[in-house]
Chains A and B, each alone.
Chain A
Amino acid sequence: MMPETLLEVEDLRIHFPTQDGLVKAVDGVSFTLSRGRTLGIVGESGSGKSVTSLGIMGLLQGSHAQISGHIRLDGEDLVTASPDRVRQLRGSKMAMIFQDSLSALHPYYTVGNQIIEAYRIHNEVSKKAARKHAIDLLGRVGIPQPSVRVDDYPHQFSGGMRQRAMIAMALSCDPGLLIADEPTTALDVTVQAQILDLISDLQSEFGSAVIIITHDLGVVAELSDNILVMYAGRVAEYGSGADIFYRPGHPYTWGLLSSMPRLDRARTARLIPIAGTPPSLIRVPPGCPFHPRCQYTGLTNGRCDTEVPPLRAVATLEHEAACHLTAEDRVRLWAEISGGEVPAEAREIPDQAGELLDEAVDVPAEVGPSVAQGGVEA
């Protein structure tokens, strides 16, 4: 029983011409999303995850962005649709929750008025009915005393309540697609847990498709059915939550997973960072955009720095990674990294990657001697 596809993004490219050159913020991203499902998009700052969502919402129309490819919402292409049509769809069929609720809500209008406005733009109802709807929504997102708080201004709400109010506004027209861009980044953990619960409760109630954009792998793991890992405007890896967390097939995903301290695992003596920094989107490295930071480029006969790896199925068709490494290498390397069992046949391969790993990880070790001698004594 394949659920019905709601959103289809195909070869989306969003480029911004600037004085310094063309910024390829999104460069060939494709994915599909069905009703009632949740897609998590993870990546570092500048990986293009937010621009992708702004592109889908049509919020880049009128900017200098050059958009190509297709974004089909319910079969209707949003890239070629007129701004008026996108405006009609925005709010009614797709809605967005922003990260910073204090700046996303208008400080001069009451929370209620802002929800009423959003509702009345798309529905011909009286102010009174809209107000009732707003109070109802505020109650459903868990605002205490909604009939009183509806007349409050955003500054009278706490951070968690503002985020709830924004969710209420986004849901006011029962959109099929809800995009949440770092919805909990500005919140404390206990409040974050409340909001994540709320989003998944509402999703099962409204049956919306949700895209959740975050840099927090814990958040994606909790909410998402499928996960898209982005790097330098491209898809590095796509798969189910279990694929990404237990059988990741891209060195960047490995790096992300091993660089974060985790509460659910024994504490390790050192974190394993990804060496280097994310590339400039104006001068994306040739070949695989991750190759300058990758430790395993030696295993592919130089293909990594010349040839852009296409997204290829890893183990199942639903799990894809853009990497030149062979399937055996991936299995072996991930087993090494994750400390799992290394298959016997994989051990016989010369341990080139292991050496590379040693070199790359011990960056701060070089710091050592200079500390000992380097005097800043007065």
Chain B
Amino acid sequence: MTEQTQTPPVSPAGTGSSGDVLLQVKALVRHFPVTRGVVFRRKVGAVRAVDGIDLALARGQTLGLVGESGCGKTTTGRLLVRLDEPTSGQIVIDGRDVTHLRPGRMRPLRREIQMIFQDPYSSLNPRHTVGAIVGAPFRLQKVKVPVKRSVQELLELVGLNPEHYNRYPYEFSGGQRQRIGIARTLALRPKLIVADEPVSALDVSIQAQVINLLEDLQDHLGLTYVVIAHDLSVVRHISDQVAVMYLGKIVEVAERDLLYAQPRHPYTVALLSAVPVPEPASSASGQRQRPERIRLVGDVPSPLNPPSACRFHTRCWKAQEICRQQEPPLAELATGHRVACHFPENTPPPAEGPQVRSG
């Protein structure tokens, strides 16, 4: 999909700020305060939804953000489009620091950053026609265009019949509604699109249609995507870079093929091995090479009180004392492959060990 030679992938979490970097996130934190009391609200703790993440994304590329529920991937997405206020850290989009822009100052930037929502049923106003929904960005941003024509072009762009301008969302199927949502997202020609679980509410056959549409649009319009999803196979298909989150932290980030072929963080390894493979065991056509499934015990701990140091140590089969004492940094173990682990997997036998600990 995105074999765009003019935009070489920039390693995420990198420090380099070349002109190609569209999105740069540094030490982004979002804590939701937990309060007690009605009149005197005391802060008694914080849900550490996002707890210090670094990302960088080159123009025209797709970053996949994966993790289990509660890992902070959706909060990260909301922070990126500034639907939520970061507690600390920095978000730079196209060279502009948008971290703490006031809503009024943010509004012009909304043309450049848009979001695709998960649920095509609740993200479209049932009492508005498709024309009103897709045309809303023009009205809100006071863009002077022939709205009807533009909307019809957008509908055509996403593979819907432009004649359906006056229909209501209930007249469309789930996949078509998601296309309507995408048309609305594209109305203002954004540079960055954050897609939060764009296909998880859709059936398999329709999922493929929407994924292909997203890829085509990226090719034609040079869009940059952050795709948040829990489905690892969808993320592999759509992403150039993949970041794995666990309890508010990025534990591993790498170029797609590298991450899927040689996952280094034990959590990524476990996550990948847990995906059910559509190949029945009674395979007649040869043996498949399948790493043994790693059974993680228990559930993800509460982000209210995350485990000390390495957050995965409570469920990790490799955990040792150091994992409870010292938080592993997100170290670059190979070119463009960053892992936060004291004892990474798939490590070539010699030389790698000491490097990890010093990093």
Binds A, one of B21-29, B34-42, B52-60, B276-284: B276-284
| A interface residues, how many (CB within 8 angstroms) | 62
* Nearest-Cβ distance from residue B336 to partner chain A, whole angstroms: 17
* Nearest-Cβ distance from residue B218 to partner chain A, whole angstroms: 11
**Interface check B295, CB cutoff 8 A:** yes
Given contacts A44-B203, A161-B299, contact A271 B217 (CB under 8 A): no
Question: Are B279 and A277 touching (Cβ within 8 A)?
Answer: no
**Interface check B145, CB cutoff 8 A:** yes
Question: Are A218 and B275 touching (Cβ within 8 A)?
Answer: yes
**Interface check A259, CB cutoff 8 A:** yes
Given contacts A45-B203, A271-B237, contact A217 B278 (CB under 8 A): yes
Question: Are A264 and B288 touching (Cβ within 8 A)?
Answer: yes
**Interface check B319, CB cutoff 8 A:** no
How far is A244 from B158 in the complex, measured between Cα atoms in Å? Answer: 33
**Interface check A153, CB cutoff 8 A:** no
Residue in B157, B260, B274, B285 whose beta carbon sits within 8 Å of that of A193 in the complex: B274
How far is A191 from B71 in the complex, measured between Cα atoms in Å? Answer: 14
Question: Are B278 and A257 touching (Cβ within 8 A)?
Answer: yes
Question: Are B276 and A192 touching (Cβ within 8 A)?
Answer: yes
- A264, A364, A371: residue with the most chain B Cβ atoms closer than 10 Å: A364
Q: Which residue of A lies closest to B267 (CB)?
A: A190
Given contacts A267-B237, A273-B212, A376-B150, contact A245 B299 (CB under 8 A): no
- Write out, one digit per residue, whether chain A residues 13-50 have a CB within 8 A of any chain B CB (1) or not (0): 00000000000000000000000000000001100000
**Interface check A2, CB cutoff 8 A:** no
| Chain B contact patch, size range | 35 or more
**Interface check B234, CB cutoff 8 A:** yes
How far is A273 from B208 in the complex, measured between Cα atoms in Å? Answer: 5
**Interface check A299, CB cutoff 8 A:** no
Question: Are B278 and A374 touching (Cβ within 8 A)?
Answer: no
Question: Are B278 and A262 touching (Cβ within 8 A)?
Answer: yes
* Nearest-Cβ distance from residue B151 to partner chain A, whole angstroms: 9
**Interface check A152, CB cutoff 8 A:** no
Residue in A190, A267, A272, A363 whose beta carbon sits within 8 Å of that of B296 in the complex: A190
Chain A residues 164 to 223 lying within 8 A of chain B, measured CB to CB, are: 188-194, 196-197, 215-222
**Interface check A92, CB cutoff 8 A:** no
Chain A residues 263 to 280 lying within 8 A of chain B, measured CB to CB, are: 263-264, 267-274, 277-278
Question: Are B212 and A221 touching (Cβ within 8 A)?
Answer: no
- Write out, one digit per residue, whether chain B residues 279-317 have a CB within 8 A of any chain A CB (1) or not (0): 111111100101001011001100000000000000000
**Interface check B144, CB cutoff 8 A:** yes
Chain B residues 178 to 214 lying within 8 A of chain A, measured CB to CB, are: 186-189, 203-209, 211-213
Question: Are B150 and A259 touching (Cβ within 8 A)?
Answer: no
Residue in A161, A242, A256, A376 whose beta carbon sits within 8 Å of that of B154 in the complex: A376
Report B-chain residues with C-beta under 8 Å of the C-beta of A219: 276
Residue in B157, B230, B279 whose beta carbon sits within 8 Å of that of A245 in the complex: B279
Report B-chain residues with C-beta under 8 Å of the C-beta of A189: 68, 230, 232, 271, 274-275
Question: Are B271 and A190 touching (Cβ within 8 A)?
Answer: yes
Question: Are A245 and B208 touching (Cβ within 8 A)?
Answer: no
**Interface check B233, CB cutoff 8 A:** yes
**Interface check B175, CB cutoff 8 A:** yes
- Write out, one digit per residue, whether chain B residues 141-178 have a CB within 8 A of any chain A CB (1) or not (0): 00111000010011011110000000000000111100
How far is A267 from B204 in the complex, measured between Cα atoms in Å? Answer: 17
Question: Are A190 and B284 touching (Cβ within 8 A)?
Answer: no
Question: Are A364 and B208 touching (Cβ within 8 A)?
Answer: no
- A160, A190, A259, A273: residue with the most chain B Cβ atoms closer than 10 Å: A190
B-binding residues in A (CB < 8 A): 44-45, 158-161, 188-194, 196-197, 215-222, 224, 240-242, 244-246, 255-257, 259-264, 267-274, 277-278, 363-365, 367-368, 370-372, 374-378
For the complex of A and B, 6 pairs with smallest distance between CB atoms = A241-B280, A218-B276, A273-B208, A274-B205, A261-B237, A259-B208
Q: Could you list 27 A-B pairs, sorted by A, with CB under 8 Å? A: A159-B69, A188-B69, A190-B296, A191-B68, A194-B295, A217-B204, A217-B278, A218-B275, A221-B280, A222-B280, A241-B280, A244-B280, A246-B285, A259-B208, A260-B207, A264-B290, A267-B237, A270-B215, A271-B212, A273-B207, A277-B206, A368-B216, A368-B220, A370-B156, A374-B153, A376-B154, A377-B189
